[in-house]
Chains A and B, each alone.
Chain A
Amino acid sequence: MKTRLPALAFIAFVAIAGIILTLSPHNMRSVQAGFLGLISPFLKTGSTMEKKYRDFREGLKTLEQLEEENKRISIANKDLSATNQTLRGLEAENTRLRKALGYAERAAFKLVPARIIARDAATWYSSIVIDRGTAEGIKADMPVLTEEGLVGKTSTVSEHAATVILISDETCKVAVNVENSTEKGIARGERGSTTAIPQIALTFITKQANLQPGQKVLTSGVGGVFPSGALVGTVKDFKVRELDGYATILPAVDLTTLEDVFVVVSNRP
């Protein structure tokens, strides 16, 4: 019996591996959600400890540094307040004009704030794990943003955690428009883009696009996953290929140091 044990173990291994490999996508998603639910308390604890350590390190600042930071934040606060006032005026004007033209009222978004509890440890994927899940109304394929721009979309969702595929991942495709241009294209991460600042490729644009560095790239809303008007990034460079144009985009959001995000849960508050 003892000599047969390795052979039996091998047969059992092959059988179980075969069963796992033939799971339906629905069952696979359930397995993933279950495991994410199991690991998320550990990730949350780890994230809290990491944040405390970072806060402790950052807390060791001189009085001059704190004064400088305070001054900078005060200026930024005044600037944002002024911008907010202007935008409120523009919003009111926009609503009035839309009503006058008989346009449907633009849907407001309901945002769920979430904290990043882990970054993906795999080599070929760009994703993060957030501390919000189905309990907070989050489902798969919901857009994730920050005040600076687009971050990605949700993928696997458990009760209190969700995986977010970042826009720097090759599998996250976003329909976009380029500011001050009629160009429309698809933004997607580049395979093997493992540099400190991930870059996004803008494809399906015309050879005549002649995009200039610094031009803003915004979501077009086509496809239904991402809302229109969210900033994806800015054009870094543009080149003409045999059949089309190709541009590299620098993401608007620093995806490597991101801490908090918002999930667009629905179009109505």
Chain B
Amino acid sequence: MILFPLLLVAMFLALVVQHFIGPLPPMGARVLIMPIIMFYGALALPLPAMFALTLAGGLMWDALHVQMVDGSYEIALGSSVVLYGVLGGLISGFRPLFQRGRWEIHCLLSGFACSIIVFAEYLMITFRREPVIFVFTPNIWWSIAASGIVATLLSPFFFFALNYLALRTGYDPQPLRRQPKR
């Protein structure tokens, strides 16, 4: 199954590309491409491969973004591994529907999961930073929601492209979809 290493490479490249996509106006929401690819993997690949993908994705994300503050890490390296693993497992539960050729709800789920990631990161830093005050300004809500909305809008394109890539490699991620009548 060559799709697995291809998705890993795609996730790595997405992480690079994300650095060149600026925050979206007006309130600076970020475009999350890497999680979309990872969630596609959760739908297209069996459970063991999904766990491996989320492990790699979470580790890459934390290695690049987690910061050391005053000599200690405010978020432990590996927190995203757990978060991605849980979300990947949730999305993987919708795999039978994806295998039957449906993908609409999965794009929505992918966007929702991206918002959950941003929200969970916010909660984690809030718990670690002094003082522990839950500030929920419109900016913060927008950052959380907009990342999910953008991911929902981008997901069909990525799912389509990755499905095409999978078929080209000889792996059919949707083997139960209805074939068009001849």
A residues with a Cβ closer than 8 A to B are 5-6, 8-10, 12-13, 16-17, 20-21, 23, 25, 28-29, 31-32, 34-36, 39, 42-43, 46-47, 50, 118-125, 127, 129, 140, 155-156, 163, 165, 169-171, 191-196, 256
> Is B121 an interface position by the 8 A CB rule?
yes
Contacts A39-B15, A123-B147: A195 and B28 contacting too (C-beta < 8 A)? yes
17 contacts between A and B (CB under 8 A): A9-B52, A13-B52, A13-B55, A13-B85, A21-B82, A23-B76, A32-B77, A36-B63, A36-B64, A46-B20, A123-B29, A123-B147, A127-B67, A155-B68, A194-B139, A195-B139, A196-B25
Contact B48 A6 (CB under 8 A): yes
CB of B125 within 8 A of chain A? Answer: yes
**B6-47 interface with A by 8 A CB criterion:** 12-13, 15-23, 25-32, 46-47
Contact between A124 and B125 (Cβ–Cβ < 8 Å)? Answer: yes
Instruction: Give the chain A neighbours of B122 by CB distance below 8 A.
Output: 123-124, 192
Say yes or no: A124-B121 contact (C-beta < 8 A), given A192-B139, A196-B25: yes
- Contact partner of B129 (CB less than 8 A), chosen from A25, A121, A156, A171, is A171
Q: Which residues of B contact A124 (CB under 8 A)?
A: 118, 121-122, 125
Q: Is B1 an interface residue, CB under 8 A from the partner?
A: no
A171 contacts B74, C-beta separation under 8 Å: yes
Q: Give CA–CA (A252, B162) in the complex, Å.
A: 44
Question: If A21-B76, A194-B28 touch, does A35 touch B67 (CB 8 Å cutoff)?
Answer: no
- Are B81 and A17 within 8 A (Cβ)? yes
Indicate if the CB atoms of B19 and A120 lie closer than 8 Å. yes
- Tell me whether B143 and A20 are in contact (CB under 8 A): no
| B130 CB, nearest partner CB in chain A, Å | 10
Q: B140 on the interface (CB 8 Å rule)?
A: yes
* B72 interface contact, C-beta 8 A: yes
For residue A128, which residue of chain B has the nearest CB? B19
CA–CA, A171 to B67, complex, Å? 9
Contact in complex: B63, A31 (CB < 8 Å): yes
Closest to A121 in B: B18
* Complex: A195 Cα to B54 Cα, angstroms: 31
Contact yes or no, A17 B28, CB < 8 A:
no
Residue in B closest to A198 when the chains form the complex, CB atoms: B28
Determine which of B27, B46, B51 lies in contact with A13 in the assembled complex, contact meaning CB atoms within 8 Å.
B51
Bound-state CA distance A21–B135 (Å) is 27
Task: Among B13, B66, B135, point to the contact of A191 (Cβ < 8 A).
Answer: B135
Interface residue B60 (Cβ < 8 Å from any Cβ of A):
yes
Given contacts A20-B59, A119-B19, A163-B67, 8 further A-B contacts (CB under 8 A): A21-B79, A35-B63, A35-B64, A121-B65, A123-B118, A171-B67, A192-B135, A195-B139
Q: Smallest Cβ distance from A63 to chain B, in angstroms?
A: 31
Kindly provide the distance from the CB of B96 to the nearest chain A CB, expressed in whole angstroms: 14
Shortest beta-carbon distance from A165 to chain B in Å: 6
The reply to whether A21 and B16 contact each other, CB–CB distance below 8 Å, is no
Complex CA distance for A195 and B138, rounded to whole angstroms: 11
Contact between chains at B16 and A193 (CB < 8 Å): no
The distance from the CB of B99 to the nearest CB of chain A, in whole angstroms, is: 16
Q: Does B69 interact with chain A (Cβ within 8 Å)?
A: yes
Taking the closest CB of chain A, its distance from the CB of B51, in whole angstroms, is 4
Q: Are B65 and A25 in contact, CB atoms less than 8 angstroms apart?
A: no
